[in-house]
Amino acid sequence: MKKEQSKNNKLPVLQASKNITVRFSEVDSMNIMWHGSYPLYFEDAREAFGLKFGIDYLTIFGNGYYAPLVDIEFHYKRPIVYGMTVRVDIVYRPTDAAKIIFDYKIYNVADDELMATGHSVQVFLDKSYQLVWNNPPFYEKWKTEHNLM
């Protein structure tokens, strides 16, 4: 479990990585990864992070909440092409708000070149699909366990 100190404060940095080989179904007619695949790669990274740090979707759901995406963005740096193996690095961004915020970087595994960056924000909804304004108790506990408070 990687826990480094953040450069901006004393909170640990929680991060995970996921290697993915670009499939034919994920590229367009120019052999470049289709823009709709970026959110899927970020999703794979969120799942890897969640399993590594105990904040996966089933844990969130099991505690009575949903965590839908409300904001996602990505920025191209270099073309990602069919057959390339990339590494998606995901970093949790601490916040006091009732949100889960991640930053992403996608690298070409062959030469460690930065291919894309991104960001996502998730909020909490209760089982009646109502927005939760305060951190759910399980999330507060998770933050405390990982020294993020």
11-40 mean pLDDT: 96
Query: In this predicted model, what pLDDT tens digit does every residue of 44-96 receive, in sequence order?
Result: 999 999 999 999 999 999 999 999 999 999 999 999 999 999 999 999 999 99
**10 Å Cβ neighbour count for 22?**
20
In this prediction the pTM is 0.91
110-137 mean pLDDT: 98
CA separation for the pair 139, 30 (Å, rounded): 43
CA separation for the pair 104, 89 (Å, rounded): 6
Tell which residue, 54, 59, 143, 29, has the closest CA to residue 96: 143
* CA atoms within a 13 Å half-sphere pointing along the CA-CB vector of 65: 24
pLDDT over 90, % of the chain = 91
pLDDT in the model for residue 3 = 46
CA separation for the pair 88, 115 (Å, rounded): 10
**10 Å Cβ neighbour count for 15?**
20
CA separation for the pair 74, 125 (Å, rounded): 24
